Structure 1
Amino acid sequence: MGSLVGEEYEVEVGPVAHGGHCIARTESGQVLFVRHALPGERVVARVTEGEEGARYLRADAVEVLSASKDRIEAPCPYAGPGRCGGCDWQHAKPGAQRRLKGEVIAEQLRRLAGLTPEEVGWDGTVMPAEGDKLPAGQVPQWRTRVQYAVDGAGRAGLRRHRSHEVEPIDHCMIAAEGVSELGIEKREWPGMASIEAIAATGSQDRQVILTPRPGERLPIVELDRPVSVMRVGEKDGGVHRVHGRPFVRERADGRTYRVGSGGFWQVHPKAADTLVTAVMQGLLPRKGEMALDLYCGVGLFAGALADRVGEKGAVLGIESGKRAVEDARHNLAEFPRVRIEQGRVETVLPRTGITEVDLIVLDPPRAGAGRETVEHLASLGARRIAYVACDPAALARDLGYFRDGGYRVRMLRAFDLFPMTHHVECVAILEPAAKGV
């Protein structure tokens, strides 16, 4: 079978699909996943991946013959076919981006869980974060953490879509002001493979994490703002301090959280508060309750739960990352009835001997929790469960498992915490199907 890369087809663009592309078909019926297009358009699609006989081909819309009313000129000069892979929807109006994300969520729920939006208590709306509802052509500066790649000439940039090639840039439009102020793109980075720039929203903390190429030494780092510098070790892959604090301080729900270098924190500056609010409104914790915070990271939801269940309540957090566990224990040291355990949820939770809880929060990685973990959680009899998801496909699969375990979705909310990209965050609130609480 021969490669079809470079072949062009004139196609009618169909519905949006999970992953930041739309579906089209060639005259012969072969499926195309087309980026840089919008539903209803007629475009010339150039194949970027695939061969004769493949189930589908990947393609870019390189010419728009009939444009959607939702199309705008991409504000970013680096967006477009073959360019930066960081954004998926620069060519779509902000409202259209949110509508497309809602269509993806609804399609995944129907296809993978057999659920309609009405059955999960969702009106189909994807809500923008506070301050992000801007006119078309204006871009929210929301990325507080940016992973720059470095090309062979030492220039910082972002990777092209599904490629190791680097698109050098002089500015990222969606980077938070605190990241842009560091001036990463202004200087050369000889010997570096990548640079992660972090601008905390809960403090003035700024940090860069440098990953040298094998055998290369660190450069002298001179940036436009004071910054802590870390490096990724060549042998162990760990993050090591060069100078400055080995953490940044973030803030959410009225509490400050220490986040160690390389640790997870929501990228959008409003995300942590948005998600805590949605989870707590859905769970309505009561004094004295027992709660689980699974995949707890540095303790964001565990802290919010501890405040609300009070001194007579208890919270158990489980997290696999050693550094994150250390941070969570530090962040929640004031709560004697909060315990953080290290390990994989599917391993640690059965060892605890817990057979009954009141509340569960789970915020699993992109792959989801999986059938085995969901079945265990459903057996614990929680009156409410909050599932925080960054991938609608994994969410839909796991909601199907919860349904099989006797739970129904009481409410689902969706948030556009990744503007210009196809990513979307959801919070699903579940309760036992046999009773409303």
Structure 2
Amino acid sequence: MDERAGQRAGRQPQPAAAESWLGRRLEVRVEAIAHGGHCVARSAGRVVFVRHALPGETVLAEVTEDRGGSFCRADAVEIRTASPDRVSRPCPYAHPGGCGGCDFQHVSLPGQRALKAAVVAEQLSRLAGLERAVTVQPLDDGDGLGWRRRVRFAVGPAGELGLRAHRSHRVVPLSHCPIGAPGVGDARALQSDWPGLAELEVAVDDRGEVVELAHRSRPARPRRDSRGRHGGNRRPARPVLSTEQLSGPPALRYAVAGREFTVHPAGFWQTHPQAAEVFTATVLRAASARPGERVLDLYAGSGLFTAALASAVTSTGRVLGLEAEPTAVADAGANLADQPWAAVRRATVSAATVQAATGDLSADGVDIVVLDPPRSGAGREVLSAILAAGPRVVIYVACDPAALARDVRIALDAGWQLDELSAFDAFPMTHHVECIAVLRPLWNRS
């Protein structure tokens, strides 16, 4: 179940409460896990989204947010009947009212993966109409700590570094972050105050090189609302952040499948140390690319999948990536310098840019499409353009199971099938899960 489904379910038994439940304590029986890191419970006909709980438990839940309507939010502050998957939290900050960065510190690693598998399966069932057993695979045999190679620490009122509480701007000061990789979770910056900054970002690469990036708020121009064209009101815009590198090398370096990639210090790279290697191997296996084939790589970033696919199709083929971020495009150019039959073009992914890229690759369409969209997914227009290009396989790397399920439904309606689905625990201790879906047309294309 996800939050919106829970809200709909909560509307049916009886009308919403007339007065706020904020601060009220409720003894509830915890039901299923919901997409977003909380579980579903019910009280007096309302849905209660409970954090720090597990399915099957009986807990005392304190309401932390109630905006009226059919649901409210709460934290489990006392466990009356515990799940067998409950463990002691390894992080001293992961408790009700504490850091909001992790959702599952109180859950065993096998239990975390089972919860994530249940969420993926439920989203596919509800949004795509597919009943499918899901297994979430670990990326390593570790304890779920010390893996996160990039963290954006928030800065508190007195300049102290920390992370924000759940659904709050309140900064919880930290002396260390247990899921942070060496150099990040124990960053020296955590021992200092940083007045004047909005955030301080710390990242580390494969060589152990650490960068620090300062993010400062600066005012933005007010934006006109829809009435502004006719002299109406201007609405305030959110402040924007300016970024300055404080320390570290000019580029971070990562090795995958025998190749070294350089990435701008503020650029995107998979944060789990094993993720890029495992995802690349999974994509290549699903693609089964052959020499001479044409490949489209969407949301290509610094060229991780582009380079691997270029090696597979050899110089007789072509790979074209699309990426909107200019620094990532520049990184990709350096990373693909020895593969002139591959390139990443600066472009926002849209139906029009997908169609243009398809035409540039071949008049006959493309053979393979790989996409790694943001959390919002690809959407109907982009996915329809991908399918219209006529590939024999589409490989969809997804960081949000709800967005993936919605896009899979679009493909199913267009005559495609979900041929394979792999799910990976790339973000231990959090509710996030990475999926790689392999879509193939129902008709044969050799």
Query: What's the TM-score, normalizing by structure 1?
Result: 0.89
1:395 to 398, 404, 415: 404
Shift of 1:257: 1.3
Please, which of 86, 99, 124 is the counterpart of residue 84 of structure 1? 99
Does the aligned pair in 2 maintain the 1:378–1:406 contact within 8 Å? no
Deviations 1:296-351 (A, max 9, x none): 00111001000110010100100011111111111112111112211111142223
Distance 1:365 1:213, change over 3 A: closer
2:170 alignment counterpart = 165
Do structure 1's residue 151 and structure 2's residue 156 form an aligned pair? Answer: yes
Q: Percent identity?
A: 46
State yes or no: 1:194 paired with 2:199: yes
* CA displacement at 1:199 relative to structure 2: 0.6
Task: Return the letter of the residue paired with 1:39.
Answer: P
Aligned twin of 1:129: 139
CA contact 1:144–1:198 (8 Å) conserved in 2? yes
In the other structure, the counterpart of 1:264 is: 268
In the TM superposition, what is the alpha-carbon distance from 1:264 to its structure 2 partner? 0.8
Q: 1:238 to 1:433 in 2, by over 3 A?
A: farther
Q: 2:201 and 2:316 mapped to 1: Cα distance?
A: 42
The superposition leaves residues 336-376 of structure 1 with CA deviations (integer Å, 9 ceiling, x where unpaired) of 11122111111422233525101110000000000111111
Alignment map for 1:106-255 (pairs within 5 Å): 106-117=121-132, 123-132=133-142, 134=143, 139-201=144-206, 203-212=207-216, 237-241=241-245, 245-255=249-259
In the alignment, structure 1 residue 42 sits paired with structure 2 residue 58: yes
Q: Are residue 17 (structure 1) and residue 21 (structure 2) matched?
A: no
Number of aligned pairs?
406
Equivalent position amino acid for 1:268 in 2: H
Give ranges in structure 2 of 5+ residues lacking alignment. 1-17, 220-237
Aligned equivalent of 1:224: none
Structure 1 stretch 204-213 or stretch 169-178: which is displaced more? 204-213
Give, in whole Å, the separation in 1 of the partners of 2:328 and 2:428.
Answer: 27
Q: Which residue of 1 aligns with 2:309?
A: 305
Partner of 1:326: 330
Q: Secondary structure of the equivalent of 1:16?
A: coil
Aligned partners of 1:341 and 1:348 also within 8 Å: no
Which residue of the other structure, out of 33, 36, 49, is the alignment partner of 1:33? 49
Alignment deviations for residues 234-279 of structure 1 (CA, whole Å, 9 cap, x no partner) = 9974534456533211221211111113211111011100100111
**Rounded Cα–Cα distance in structure 1 between residues aligned with 2:81 and 2:311:** 55
Q: Secondary structure at 2:198's aligned position in 1?
A: strand
2:343 is aligned to 339
Q: Distance in 2 between matches of 1:13 and 1:156?
A: 34
Shift of 1:69: 0.9
- The aligned amino acid for 1:126 is V
Q: Which runs of 5+ in 1 are unaligned?
A: 118-122, 216-233
Report 1:346-385 matches (<5 A). 346=350, 347-352=352-357, 354=359, 356-385=365-394
* Amino acid corresponding to residue 426 of structure 1 in structure 2: C
Give the superposed CA RMSD: 1.8
Contact 1:146 1:175 in 2 (8 A): yes
| Counterparts of 2:162 and 2:323, CA distance in 1 | 32
Q: Distance in 2 between matches of 1:71 and 1:84?
A: 19
Confirm or deny that 1:435 pairs with 2:439.
no
Specify the code of the residue in structure 1 equivalent to 2:63.
V
